[in-house]
Amino acid sequence: MNIGIMSFAHLHAEAYINNIRAIPGVRLVGIADDDLARGRYFAQHFNTPLFPSYADLLAEKPDGVIVCSENTRHRPLVEMAAQAGVHVLCEKPLATTRADAQAMQDACHQAGVILMTAFPMRFSAPLQQVKARLDAGDLGRVYCLSTTNQGQMPMAHRAWFVDPKLAGGGAMMDHIVHLADVLNWFFGTAVTTVYAQSNRILHADSVDVETGGLVALTFADGLFATIDASWSKPLNYPTWGGLTMELISEKGLTVVDAFSQNLNVYRQEPAAHQWAYWGSDANQAMIAEFVAAIREQRPPAVTGEDGRFALEIVLAAYESASTGQPVALRQSGYL
């Protein structure tokens, strides 16, 4: 099986190359990037072919591609791949507007190809353990959750993350989607209202997008959850961020840290705090699922529809933060 990567705008593309190469029987056919200088750099760094255009990459007839462009540029690449009959794994957020998300789903459906959203937390070993306990009824009824998806200011890694024309927003666009999807996966219950507040207290002199956000979700069955979606980790933090959950249920308190499978290493020269990671790789499992879905000709565990659901939560959060009022979500379609 041949897999290609369309754009190296997103920093996750760097990890995906090794994930692809680690799967038996799968070959990285190459990459393409509309930023040729960036494409040449990563092609040389990872010793992989660089195609002069996305059309040239698709002309090689890969079985699937991973779209890693800037958020607002996902749609044309997904549509291009679908028209070529190529399956797609698209970085999150799936899109930044409802119209783009719908068009991407329609294009892939009409072409008969997979559209998978890159939500690696579905494949996190700690979160999968919680999901299994929930499904088995071990925790009893869940009453509420406090969740966080915090991270570093991403400007040092990729400047476009703080450009609203390319990213579609700031910290809320970047970080709400992971937990919105996890909550949808855990409970499958309709969200009825979204209330959000955002600010630019951190890094106020550096960017023009929100760097902090707190979102409250109310579900149809009375469950409620909060999401801290902020760029609040220090720049010298040992990783880009993290994801945590605290679930209060009939059986007590359950605390989850999706990035806890590591050892803390403190060095004197140079002075640094680092993580020596020993745990499972959620990205690896996500890429393996994409490959398996193609091989087995079945829907993936995470779909384009899941990406649309998470986007709807994000858009409602922005509306609420703008108006200062809760936003009632429609009870039709995919919500």
Give per-residue pLDDT as tens, 164-189: 999 999 999 999 999 999 999 999 99
- Answer yes or no: are the C-beta atoms of 60 and 35 closer than 8 Å: no
- Answer yes or no: are the C-beta atoms of 209 and 230 closer than 8 Å: no
Residue 239: the pLDDT is 75
* pLDDT averaged over every residue in the chain: 94
Q: Which of the two residues, 261 and 87, has the higher pLDDT score?
A: 87
**Cα(281)–Cα(290) distance, rounded to whole angstroms?**
15
**Cα(132)–Cα(128) distance, rounded to whole angstroms?**
6
- Answer yes or no: are the C-beta atoms of 158 and 11 closer than 8 Å: yes
Give the pTM.
0.94
Residue 335: the pLDDT is 46
Q: Which helix (H) or strand (E) holds 272?
A: strand 272-277
**Cα(95)–Cα(93) distance, rounded to whole angstroms?**
5
Q: Are strands 212-219 and 224-228 parallel, antiparallel or unpaired?
A: antiparallel
Contacts of 23 (CB under 8 A, 6+ apart): 287, 288, 291
At the top level of CATH, which class does the domain 128-281+300-328 belong to? alpha beta
> Look-up: residue for tokens 């994000």?
314
- CA terminus-to-terminus distance, the chain: 35
Per CATH, the number for 2-113 is 3.40.50.720
pLDDT band at 210 (very low <50, low <70, confident <90, very high): very high
- Answer yes or no: are the C-beta atoms of 292 and 299 closer than 8 Å: no
What are the domain boundaries of the chain? Answer: 2-113, 128-281+300-328
Contacts of 288 (CB under 8 A, 6+ apart): 19, 23
pLDDT at 329 over 70: yes
